[in-house]
Amino acid sequence: MNPKDSSKVWILFFFSLFVVMVGCQKEVEAGPTAPDFSLSSLSDETVTLEQYRGKVVLLDFWATWCPPCRMTIPQLIELQDKYKDEGLIILGISVDDPGQISDKDLRYFKKMTKINYPILRYNQEVMRDYFSGERVSVPTMFVVDRNGKIRDKIVGYAPDSLKKSLAAVLKR
């Protein structure tokens, strides 16, 4: 075999290996089951995660005093409008202290920012279940797939990461 043919064989070998490796990559596996919760909405309704089984749920832990949270709100409004017919539901879980920010204050904030998704009040159980003793940073978003599995956790203002994560979960 001459050197030219040998180099062609090596190139073909590496190209074939690349195709096999890329073609065999698995889709990202779903994580653990998202803990169910029972939280109060601003309209005094009880909301559970289980009632949204079959939909893609974005849990947004946020606060009114948090600048990155406020920067995220317009994107969440846009995403809710754009993907609601594909089964997306966004649930904003306010971690504001109820002693300082009343439900009336939150309703006003929701109206002024034109939030088009439910706002829920956190409780210690949901914080323990989702953050398990970790230090809580806001905003933190959990992407939950149609089967109730956590597919992604996004901390901070990360619009591109959020769009990619939702696109991956919304496709069937």
Please identify which of the residues 30, 66, 77, 168 carries the catalytic annotation: 66
83 Cβ neighbours under 8 A, 6+ residues apart: 56, 166, 170
| Residue 97, token pair as written in the block | 């202290």
| Cis peptide bond prior to 139, omega within 30° of 0 | yes
Among residues 34, 42, 47, 69, the one annotated as catalytic is 69
Q: How far apart are CA 83 and CA 79, in angstroms?
A: 6
Residues 153 and 137: beta-carbon distance below 8 Å: no
Token match 């889709």: residue? 27
Q: Does the annotation count 24 as an active-site position? A: no
Beta carbons within 8 Å of 166's beta carbon, 6+ residues apart? 56, 58, 79, 83, 88, 143
Told to judge if 69 belongs to the known catalytic residues of this protein, a careful annotator would answer yes
Structure-token pair, residue 105: 């204050």
Indicate which residues carry an active-site annotation. Answer: 66, 69
